Amino acid sequence: MKCLVVILVCAVLAEGLVRIPLVKHKSMREALREKGIELPYQDPGLKYQPDEFAGSATMYINNYADTTYYGAISIGTPPQSFQVLFDTGSANLWVDSVYCNTQACNTHKKFNPQQSSTYSASGQSFYLPYGAGSLSGVFGYDTIDVGGIVITNQEIGLSTNEPGRTFVVAKFDGILGLSYPSISAGGETPVMDNIISQNLLNANMFAFYLSRGGQQGSELSFGGVDNSKYQGEITWTPVTSETYWQIGVDGFQINGRETGWCSQGCQSIVDTGTSMLTAPGQLLGYIMQAIGAQQSQYGMYMVDCNQIYNLPTLSFVISGVSFPLPPSAYIIQHYQYGYQFCSVGITPTYLPSRDGQPLWIFGDVFLREYYSIYDRTYNRVGFAIAA
């Protein structure tokens, strides 16, 4: 009977699903590297600084140089279509607009509010610092369509200035944040919160499936769980801070041996807007030593591609369940100028979590291995082995 109840719940959750295909592109870093430009490393943890909280119209976009999965939304009446990064590590929606005429804006699709009968201006401006430059814009309101979910009177950031070369090669036109409203720049209402208040879903949750090995088939779904995207059981763990999708980590293991690094507790932010697995800076040296990686002149940690399957399995213990990452998950294979080289998809952050515990960031390296579910009703995150 218990099994029947579980099956029925999954069937109900899957029935009202809204699916948005995500397409994998080259990251900004990869595109610039092909042009002979090496982007400097930025601490991913800077994205989670307190300055971003409501009341400040500032959003951090430091580490979007490595993101690769984007999907389509439309804005306005009649609809104008855009490719955006769906980001669980930020709260605001912004896109390029006709108010911006820099090279970075001109290489992307730009929203024209004058061509939308449902647009209204707000008069508030925002500022997004990143790397060596910044992106500026203004807020407005319009109708948006996310996979057939039509949200009215949604706050939107429209870029007015995008200096620098970084965004020239970006394959996305904007970012749609999916974190909690408490971190929304300018106090704007996030898309998910408008979806909830307008009662547009069967269940107030969304989920990510990120395909492995460069394959297509990645998907963001709203309104429930897609049981074709995972195998086994879902492990649920509570959100520890209703800011980002932050959870507790009970342990970290190397080849099944507990390190004790999280014996006093660790925190992790589950972030689809971060491509790598990010480790506490004070632990990175130990991890790289266990892997046998050597640091390159550009700060990347490299391994011998022929030795990948001899490297250790790294595991996180969450709510009493072990989540292993085999070397095939955390080693990234690159091909350039006819050569193959292999880097470790783990980067450091030197910032602790807000409660002072060591901070990890579960980016795409982790999320390709595990289907992830974000439940706003019960403020919890679910993980299951990706299909």
Whole-Å CA distances, 188 to 55, 139, 154, 319? 9, 9, 9, 33
pLDDT for 196-206, tens place per residue? 999 999 999 99
Q: Give pLDDT, residue 4.
A: 39
pLDDT at 56 > cutoff 90 = no
Average pLDDT over residues 271-279: 91
Does residue 340 or residue 43 have the better pLDDT? 340
pLDDT at 10 > cutoff 70 = no
Amino acid code (one letter) for 314: L
Average pLDDT over residues 249-259: 97
pLDDT for 302-360, tens place per residue? 999 999 999 999 999 999 999 999 999 999 998 877 889 999 999 998 887 777 899 99
Asked if residues 127 and 167 have their Cβ atoms less than 8 Å apart, the reply is: no
66, 193, 271, 364: which one is catalytic? 271
Asked if residues 122 and 52 have their Cβ atoms less than 8 Å apart, the reply is: no
3-state SS class at 304 = coil
Q: Where are the extended beta strands (E) located within 264-367?
A: 266-270, 277-280, 294-295, 301-303, 314-318, 321-325, 331-336, 339-344, 346-349, 359-362
Q: Is the peptide bond before 78 cis (omega within 30 degrees of 0)?
A: yes
Local confidence band at 27 (pLDDT 50, 70, 90 cut-offs): low
Does residue 6 or residue 356 have the better pLDDT? 356
pLDDT at 6 > cutoff 70 = no
Of the CA atoms within 13 Å of residue 186, those in its CB half-sphere come to: 24
Does residue 162 or residue 320 have the better pLDDT? 320
Q: Give pLDDT, residue 54.
A: 38
Q: Give pLDDT, residue 31.
A: 58
Mean pLDDT, the chain, whole residue set: 86
Amino acid code (one letter) for 119: Y
b vs e for 126-136, b when ≥16 Cβ sit within 10 Å of the residue's Cβ? Answer: bebbbbebebb
For residue 201, give every residue at least 6 positions away whose Cβ sits within 8 Å of its Cβ, in sequence order, or none: 16, 18, 149, 195, 222, 223, 224
For residue 230, give every residue at least 6 positions away whose Cβ sits within 8 Å of its Cβ, in sequence order, or none: 209, 371, 384, 385, 386, 387
For the whole model, what pTM was predicted?
0.88
What is the C-alpha to C-alpha distance for residues 71 and 64, in angstroms, rounded to an integer? 15
Q: Give pLDDT, residue 335.
A: 80
Task: Provide the 8-state DSSP code for 56.
Answer: S
Q: Give pLDDT, residue 338.
A: 81
375 is catalytic: no
Q: Give pLDDT, residue 316.
A: 98
Q: Give pLDDT, residue 229.
A: 96
pLDDT for 145-159, tens place per residue? 999 999 999 999 999
Average pLDDT over residues 188-199: 97
Q: Give pLDDT, residue 123.
A: 86
pLDDT for 75-116, tens place per residue? 999 999 999 989 998 899 999 999 999 888 888 899 999 999
End-to-end CA, the chain: 26
Structure tokens that stand for 126 in this block: 């925002």
pLDDT for 226-245, tens place per residue? 999 999 999 999 999 999 99
Asked if residues 375 and 205 have their Cβ atoms less than 8 Å apart, the reply is: yes
Structure tokens that stand for 260 in this block: 């004790």
Nearest to 313 by CA among 336, 329, 296, 299: 329
66 is catalytic: no
Does residue 241 or residue 34 have the better pLDDT? 241
87, 193, 226, 375: which one is catalytic? 87
pLDDT at 57 > cutoff 90 = no
Q: Give pLDDT, residue 62.
A: 43
Q: How many residues belong to the chain? A: 387
Average pLDDT over residues 35-62: 52
Backbone angles phi, psi at 233, to 5 degrees: -100, 155
b vs e for 28-43, b when ≥16 Cβ sit within 10 Å of the residue's Cβ? Answer: bbbbbbeeeeebeebe
H or E, element range at 239: strand 230-242
pLDDT at 32 > cutoff 60 = no
Local confidence band at 383 (pLDDT 50, 70, 90 cut-offs): very high
**Which of 6-15, 65-74, 122-131, 139-148 holds the top average pLDDT?**
139-148
Q: Give pLDDT, residue 132.
A: 42
What is the C-alpha to C-alpha distance for residues 65 and 377, in angstroms, rounded to an integer? 32
3-state SS class at 125 = strand
